[in-house]
A and B are shown apart, each in its own frame.
Chain A
Amino acid sequence: MSMNAQQPADRGADLAEDLEPTAHLIAEKADTTASQQEKAHRPISRGRLVWRRLKGKPNFYIGGAIVLAIVAFALFGDLFNIYTQGQQDSFNFNSPPSAQHYFGTDAIGVDLYASMTSALRTSLLIGFLAAPTATLVAAIMGSLAGYLGGPFEMFTNWLINLLLVLPVFYVLMIVSPAIADPSNLPGAIQWLGFMPAWGLLVIAIGLFSWMIMAQIVKNQTKSLKEREYVKAARYMGVSTPTILRRHIIPNVASLLIIDGALGVAGAILAETSLSFFGLGIQAPDVSLGTLLQDGTGAAVSRPWLFVIPASFLIALLTGVALVGDALRDAIDPTSEVNRA
């Protein structure tokens, strides 16, 4: 069936799913007909269907557990520790992990456990805010440019190309003094000075990481625009914002969610790298980046200073990616089948 060469080429995507969903349908039919007697003709909302599918994914549980554990550690880890971030224990320099210092201490006796919780809070905050910011900008710019076409598309292309050729890291290096000290902000955006450093970092990372996704969303939108259901909606008199919201964005949603989820990892990495080079979060604040930077030199002699922050970083990125993967499968009912 799926091998049948005589189907039109543009229905190729249909081929692979041809076999599976029918089996799925038959199976589902069997168990729904039983429950249908008591069920009224209420359509199940989309959100609930997605949630139902999500619950069947092991990836979601594993990733979710990892992310939740790390978030819980960042929020409540301090309850089990007598030291606070930055506090020095002058009797224990370079102490390996012990009952007193769970994660050990550094050369000046700072408790790594306390630093870790604080650093994770900063990094998580930046990651979970910067990625959706970038995705949101990408979705709006991309879908508008693709759907409207014309001058707006030309402007978007120009802007995307401009931002893409700018070396982002270099630009962030240039703006980093402003992040370190908001009073260095140029006059026009001086009002942003009320924000803490991490807030400015969110904006900076967000504004420099939407371009590729916007490009993809734009091209997707252009092909979706020619789809008959979008045409049908237009002929029904559905307004442009509603078409974008109802037909375009949900159809690129799986892309956006992957982007958002992987973007979290990317944003954490970006923050970490910036802070690693001393460009992001500044002392006395800590983030995963600053901790890693402090720990690199000691990686061989005092491995806990490097291995612990690095393991947290890896675990966090893996957990976020697994959740993103599971979400994509749940939101896009065909993706799973297509890959099978």
Chain B
Amino acid sequence: MPEPLLQVKDLTVTFPNAKGGVRAVRGVDYSVGEGEFLGIVGESGSGKSVSSLAVMGLLPSSAKITGDITFRGESLLGMSDRALSKLRGREMAMIFQDPLSALTPVYTVGQQIVEALTLHDKNVPQRSAEKRAVELLKIVGIPAAERRVKAFPHEFSGGMRQRAMIAIAIANDPALIVADEPTTALDVTIQAQILEVLQKAKEVTGAAVVLITHDLGVVAGNVDRVAVMYAGKLVEKGPVEEVFHSPRMPYTMGLLRSVPNMLTAGKERLVPLEGRPPNLANLPVGCPFADRCPAAQDRCRTTEPELLADLRDGREVACHRSDEIAAGTLKPSDIFPRPPHEERAVKDSTGLQPVVKAQDLIRHFPLYKGAVFRRVVGRVKAVDGVDFEVLPGETLGLVGESGSGKSTTALEIMELVSPQRGSLEVTGKDVGTLSRAERLAMRQDVQIVFQDPMAAVDPRMPVGDIIAEPLTVHGVPRAERDRRVVEMLELVGLDPEMTDRYPHEFSGGQRQRIGIARSLITNPKVLVLDEPVSALDVSVQAGVVNLLEDLRDRMGLSYLFVAHDLAIVREIADKIAVMYLGRIVEYGPVQEVYETPRHPYTRALMSAVPVPDPTIERARRRILLTGDLPSPTEDIPGCNFASRCPLFRMLDETRQAQCLGDDPAATVHGKSKVACHHVDEIHRLDDADISALSPIPGD
């Protein structure tokens, strides 16, 4: 067996604090061979980033590191910073999550690539380093690289910055690239591009890649081997197919079953993984997962299982019951049974009065220039003429990438004032005609749940007051408010004893439940959910999604569900509206839109969503979009998607002229409305049709 490129042995990282120290990483072993693609998955706080920073020698000096890290047989831990710096960038490169803060804003992208080159080889002449920088930018797919090399980081979009980061990382043909959540801050279509670039970078340099992420979908499609981390330890390690298809550690099972899969979503319920990861400063004895593990036994609470290799097939699992699981006597469906799925009757929506109805709604933000005499120099067309309606008891999913105007649309509804153009009706009344008192009364019917569970609740107020706040507006007496708060806490699955706690004592998922409780206390008819689960860890997401589904069905609520995660929308929504640059490009029943997407953007978006199944993921062909979202200030005479449209490039000239000159109006196809001139040509993209693939067999 050849010696592995990188070997991590019994790595422990402790951050000292007043109470002795937090062990962020507790004995991690792994190795990466030459050219191998390893994925490390874990939720936030599992220590996955810390362990990779330890490899790069980038941890703060206060951190105590024990164990051993060898790179090509050389130990990195004892190395001086100077010696490490020689390795970093040349032999080992790192790609960070946030490409904006990872690039220096005062130097051009080109200068930063040149720096990476000349730093390790002083003999490279400036001229050839510059030439190489352009080449690198071309490799990572930056258009007009000769010009772009002189641009500053702020002139790049998020996706382009991440490409530039990859260019810097591969500048010196490293043997190892560590990518720490490289796509987390990016939209799915950009994520698909970046993952493609990462694969290409790996091919070009032949480097081994360690990809750290919380997204199981990203792991499924890219890596060869996967390691799952929990509470500072690896709990399962193995080839990606095997781990995904027959997980042996209950945590891996739970994680896999809690992730919504775009291909199966809506047909079965998500399996929530209850509880939260243990506090690393105060770890319980025994298996750290025992508290959340339905299959925990007495021995799990007394001794912590070590990561042991199974002698028969070489898979490594840290679980006392891995033998039973491997033998098939303990099945994932026994440990994490799916909650019963009630088939939602497809309602006959004809004749029902919509609770929210928007017609030709626009929201433009003027751009000003000049300090003394302010004048309008342009408009940001955040929302540019959308029509939709939400029927009673129905969920409309509003999806799109960032900048598509989906959140602005949601907030526009919450304002309950006459829109800049078009009309908005809520519970059958035109909001433009409301009097002050009527508007106040209507606020009871429309409530909102925000994305960031930390920012959505006032940190200085006890939970009871937070939840009761909507009632204070309507003059509800104190005793009644207290009673309702207790009722709401029970409804969202929180302990009613917690009314006097402050938000920072709750986990993200619990805080989101507080936000939901607050929005429900007035018995609203419509709930606007602005990315309600996207800031949560996957295992927590499932619980909140299930809660939202239950509440909707029990209380007859209508949801406007704004999200960028297509899998979650398929799970919860009845209808979907796909937004692009302030417009709805496709609008129809979920089933139909997901199975036969008719707009090229919808297709591209769906093909970009990673599916947490390695077999399917590898067989899928992506429709990669070129470039980034155009600026919403631009005036585009024709179809605003034409600049990135994959179908557009396949069309003949007369049809292209139609796209460029004529803004497509929404036309009815089947049960959907599609804003595209060439719906009949969409089959040309069929090679990459994801609906042709059969969904994963259920369990």
Contacts and interface: CB of A to CB of B under 8 A. Distances in A.
A301 B413 CA distance: 78
Interface of A: 1-11, 14, 17-26, 28, 32, 36, 41-44, 46, 49, 227-229, 231-233, 235-238, 242, 246-247, 250-251, 253, 332-334, 340
Interface stretch (B135-143, B242-250, B453-461): B453-461
Contacts of B12: none
Contacts of A10: 452, 455
B181 interface: yes
B667 interface: no
A340 B459 CA distance: 19
Contact of B482 (A36, A43, A229): A43
A20 B24 CA distance: 14
Interface string B592-624: 000000000000000000000000000000000
Main secondary structure of the interface of A (DSSP, over half): helix
Given A43-B462, A49-B500, A229-B455, A2 B15 contact: yes
B457 A6 contact: no
Interface centre among B15, B282, B460 (most CB of A within 10 A): B460
A250 B460 CA distance: 7
B414 A235 contact: yes
Interface in B439-484: 439-440, 443, 446-448, 450-452, 454-462, 464-466, 469-470, 472-474, 482
30 contacts: A1-B24, A1-B44, A3-B60, A6-B181, A6-B212, A8-B535, A9-B98, A11-B452, A17-B504, A19-B22, A22-B279, A26-B282, A28-B505, A41-B496, A43-B499, A44-B500, A49-B462, A49-B500, A229-B456, A233-B469, A235-B415, A236-B522, A237-B439, A237-B473, A238-B472, A246-B461, A246-B469, A253-B460, A333-B504, A334-B504
A19 B44 contact: no
Contacts of B35: none
Contact of A41 (B101, B411, B440, B482): B482
B97 interface: yes
B7 interface: no
Contacts of B443: 235-237
Given A3-B24, A247-B458, A19 B97 contact: no
Given A18-B45, A21-B504, A49-B500, 11 more contacts: A2-B22, A3-B24, A3-B50, A8-B185, A22-B279, A232-B450, A232-B456, A235-B446, A247-B458, A250-B461, A340-B18
B499 A6 contact: no
Interface string B8-31: 000000010111001010000000
Given A6-B181, A237-B440, A43 B505 contact: no
Nearest to A46: B462
Contacts of B648: none
A235 B49 contact: no
A43 B479 CA distance: 11
Most buried by A among B184, B448, B461, B504: B504
A239 B466 CA distance: 16
B279 A236 contact: no
A25 B278 CA distance: 12
A250 B457 CA distance: 13
Given A41-B497, A43-B464, A46-B462, A6 B49 contact: yes
Contacts of A228: 450-452, 455-456
Contact of A340 (B17, B185, B497): B17
Contacts of B98: 9
A247 B460 CA distance: 8
Contact of B282 (A2, A23, A49, A333): A23
B462 A238 contact: no
B330 interface: no
A3 B499 CA distance: 30
Contacts of A242: 472
A6 B97 contact: yes
A5 B49 contact: yes
Contact of B45 (A4, A9, A238, A247): A4
Interface residues of B, number: 73
Contacts of A41: 482, 486, 496-497, 499
Interface string B198-215: 000000000000001010
Contacts of B564: none
Interface string B495-526: 01101101011000000000100100010000
B561 interface: no
Contacts of B446: 235
Contacts of B336: none
Nearest to A337: B504
A30 to B, nearest CB: 12
B448 A235 contact: yes
A5 B462 contact: no
Contacts of B411: 231
B279 A7 contact: no
A44 B499 CA distance: 8
B96 interface: yes
A323 B101 CA distance: 39
A139 B208 CA distance: 57
B281 interface: yes
A107 B442 CA distance: 78
Contact of B497 (A1, A32, A251, A334): A32
B180 interface: yes
A139 to B, nearest CB: 15
Nearest to B473: A237
A26 B448 contact: no
B53 interface: yes
B280 interface: yes
Contacts of B518: 232
A157 B374 CA distance: 18
A205 B22 CA distance: 49
B480 to A, nearest CB: 13
Contacts of B63: 3
A22 B456 CA distance: 20
Contact of A238 (B279, B469, B500): B469
A334 B459 contact: yes
A233 B96 CA distance: 36
A251 B460 contact: yes
Nearest to B518: A232
B413 to A, nearest CB: 9
Given A11-B454, A18-B45, A19-B279, A235 B504 contact: no
A3 B49 contact: yes
Nearest to B212: A6
B440 to A, nearest CB: 5
Contacts of A3: 15, 24, 49-50, 53, 59-60, 63
Nearest to B530: A228
B289 to A, nearest CB: 16
Given A23-B282, A235-B443, A227 B460 contact: no
Q: Which of A22, A23, A232, A246 has the most CB of B within 10 A?
A: A232
A251 B455 CA distance: 12
Given A6-B97, A233-B469, A333-B504, A1 B457 contact: no
B18 A229 contact: no
A223 B15 CA distance: 32
Contacts of A334: 459, 504
